Structure 1
Amino acid sequence: MNIPTLHTTAPDIKASYNGCKRWLKTSFWLLVCLSCQVQSQQLYNDLRVLTSDAYGGREAGSQQPNMSAQFIFERFKTLGLATKYQTFSFRDGIFSTAYGHNVVAQLPCNTLHCGRTIVISAHYDHLGASGSRLYAGANDNASGTVALLSLAQQLRNITRRNHVTFLATDAEEKGLYGAKHYVEHIDDAHQYVLNINLDMLAPGQNNTLYVMQSANAKHYSQTITTLQTHPLNIKLVSPNRMKRLIGDGRTDWLRASDHYAFYRAGIPYLYFGMGEDKNHHSTNDTLDSIDFDKYQQVVKFINDFMVALLSCPSDCTS
């Protein structure tokens, strides 16, 4: 049999090499796009679950962890995080006692020298239902809870110079009881360097994300400022300035969400939120009312901030 001789020239090798490079580059970006699609689908699915009729508006008060708490618990466990319930009681009305169930998950530092703990919090409870009316609480605060789950998923894969606690609180709507209970049972508040509180993250028409900071958290401003190439309108504010900027000035933003419990303990906080929502505490706060593209931008911004913060030398969060 006459087997032809193959002559491979330098141009052939170069062309083959360049073709391989193009293939690898294309494959990389396809994988990136696929990863983004998976993350996007996970965000939407989690929002859909927590706002569904079956979850009944996520009202706090049940003696055992409700479906929402169980869902969050299982999501954390699936990610490989050490997860537990933290059960507490609170006064519900004049004579009644009810129960709440925080879900707490731990992601340890993975460097040789570790900074103090960062607590990322979001309340998962809402108003429940009244007769045939369901208060789904998509923005308040399924949006923050789902962002919390997304952060837990993304931050597993990076270098972390701090321990991270993911805290899904219950009974925020009843009086911040979950956050208060968590903070009251901290052994040493000095071991906590920062609380990042996520509450109502779906931006309105002005595409604004407010980042409200305590006076002892202002040194994080530079990290936030460096990320302002995002398409969002990021506003760094104090509680007093936020009160002046939003609505009629009657909302006390310092006491309006779980970051207040950390503030009272002297722990610095950053609150991420959209401000006022016309659908707040109404049956119109549904999944359909959320601009999902804008919401994804918010989650990405907070994720980018956390990546920058956790990769920063330990003196950034000391």
Structure 2
Amino acid sequence: MKKIFLLACLATLPLFGNAQKLPLDKKQLLQDIELLAADSMQGRLSGTEGSQMAQQYILKRFQEIGLKPFNGSYKQHFRIENKRLTVEQATNLVGYIPGKSDKVIVVSAHYDHVGVRNGEIYNGTDDNASGVGALLAAAAYFKKNPPKHTLIFAAFDGEELGLQGANAFLEKPPVDLEQIILNVNMDMLSINNKGELYASGSHHYPQLLPSLQKVAARPKAKLLIGHDKPEQGPNDWTTQSDHFQFHKRKIPYIYFGVEDHPHYHKPTDDFVNVNPEFYAEAAALVIDFVKVVDKDLPSSKK
């Protein structure tokens, strides 16, 4: 009986060990989100000094990681004009890791937030410094572990002003639009007391469901599938972040995020409220998915 019990325990050790291992530098991940959500960034509203400071930080990290720029620059400038604000020069930040295929996966997260309101800084730690931190972690992983498909890493501006950055990117994409076969979008990954990260989009693109189902739960984070059916009303996330611009163009997407919490779009969305263990493993789940889907999706050779 003891021998059987021992063998059963040993059989579980490899799985447990693999589940514990993070495909990212947790210290760097937390440093990235904390600095992007610092008061000095003034809430990262598009077109402001705080936005420019955030851009400089992200550009520095792109260079450290070794992402390649398109046509010698990571910057894509565009104009925003809507009822709330006019921004003469908003800026997407875009770099890539070449793959062996002529097909492209765009990994995205918006870096803008809502700025300062009534004298209070809305730091937007979860929304969406967390997505940018995870994007940087994913870029660092795939720089060391080259993908099959070319991966474009896009930090979008203007999401809070109507998904403007994603629209500008797709209006003037750095590659032919037909080459983009998937968008993996991240928006709010760091605050959830139940350890739940949602993957939304497979209702519209059921061909992606098998890849999602291959992503194993981690000790402090589990992946749930949903929030993408029209009958769910406001709980349908299809239109609620930058992935919608891809969906409008019939480009498949998977959107990773947590459910709303009391700090959403409040001045209390600060670094102190981040769940560090959950956040690290939520970011790891996204990397796990990109690893799987990169292998699962068909590709054509260059």
Q: Is the 8 A contact 2:214 2:292 kept in 1?
A: no
Distance 1:99 1:313 in 2: 36
1:200 to 188, 196, 206: 188
* Contact 2:24 2:137 (8 Å CA) reproduced: no
- Given that residues 115 and 161 in structure 1 are in contact (C-alpha distance below 8 angstroms), is that contact kept between their aligned partners in structure 2? no
Report percent identity of matched pairs. Answer: 29
Taking the aligned partners of 2:183 and 2:23, their CA distance within structure 1 comes to 29
Question: Could you tell me which of 117, 122, 126 is aligned with 1:135?
Answer: 122
CA separation in 2, counterparts of 1:95 and 1:193?
32
Task: Find out whether 1:89 has 2:89 as its counterpart.
Answer: no
The Cα shift of 1:77 comes to 1.2
After superposition, the Cα gap between the structure-2 partners of 1:189 and 1:101, relative to the gap in structure 1 and judged at 3 Å, is: same
SS in 1 for 2:147: coil
Q: Which runs of 5+ in 1 are unaligned?
A: 1-28
8 Å CA contact retained: 1:204, 1:274? yes
Q: Aligned ranges for residues 233-248 of structure 1 at < 5 Å?
A: 233-237=222-226, 239-240=228-229, 244=232
Letter matched to residue 263 of structure 2: N
Confirm or deny: 8 A CA contact 1:91 1:97 kept in the other structure: yes
Query: Secondary structure in 2 aligned to 1:156?
Result: helix
Q: Is the 8 A contact 1:63 1:100 kept in 2?
A: no
Does the residue aligned with 1:168 lie in a helix, a strand or coil? strand
Q: Which residue of 1 aligns with 2:111?
A: 124
Tell me which amino acid in the other structure corresponds to 1:299: A
Post-superposition shift, 1:96?
Answer: 4.1
1:58 aligns with 2:44: yes
The normalised TM-score by structure 1 is 0.79
1:103 paired residue number:
93
Shifted more, 126-135 versus 307-316: the winner is: 307-316
Instruction: Supply the AA of the counterpart residue of 2:159.
Output: E
Measure how far apart 1:266 and its partner are: 1.0
1:23 maps to none
For 2:149, the equivalent position in structure 1 comes to 162
Q: Secondary structure at the match of 2:285?
A: helix
What residue identity is the alignment partner of 1:161? K
Taking a change above 3 Å as real, the CA distance of residues 117 and 289 of structure 1, as seen in their structure-2 partners, is: same
Distance 1:126 1:206 in 2: 25
- CA offset at residue 275 of structure 1? 2.0
Answer whether contact 2:67 2:97 (CA < 8 A) is retained: yes
1:209–1:98 CA distance, 2 compared to 1 (3 A): same
Q: Which of the numbers 165, 180, 191 marks the counterpart of 2:179?
A: 191
C-alpha contact 1:214 1:263 (8 A) present in aligned 2? no
Q: Of the candidates 32, 37, 42, which is equivalent to residue 28 of structure 2? A: 42
Return the alpha-carbon distance in structure 1 between the equivalents of residues 199 and 291 of structure 2: 17
- Identify if the C-alpha distance between structure 1 residues 153 and 97 changes in structure 2 by more than 3 Å, giving closer, same or farther: closer
The one of 71, 76, 89 equivalent to 2:62 is 76
Larger Rg: 1
| Deviates further, 187-196 or 43-52 | 187-196
- AA aligned opposite 1:265: R
Point out where structure 2 has 5 or more consecutive residues left out of the alignment: 1-16
Residue type at the aligned position of 1:179: A
Give the SS at the match of 1:48.
Answer: helix
Please point out which of 206, 228, 232 is paired with 2:216.
228
Separation in 2 of the partners of 1:97 and 1:229?
41
The structure-2 alpha-carbon separation of the partners of 1:235 and 1:38, relative to structure 1 and needing over 3 Å to count, comes to closer
CA RMSD in angstroms, aligned pairs only: 2.6
d(CA) in 2 for partners of 1:143 and 1:234? 17
Instruction: Provide the rounded CA distance (Å) in 1 between the counterparts of 2:271 and 2:50.
Output: 26
| Alignment check: 8 A CA contact 2:66 2:143 kept | no
CA distance in 2, matches of 1:292, 1:169: 24
- Tell me if the contact between 1:198 and 1:273 (Cα under 8 Å) persists in the aligned partners: yes
| Separation of aligned partners in 1, 2:271 and 2:188 | 13
Give the deviation of 1:93 after TM superposition.
3.3
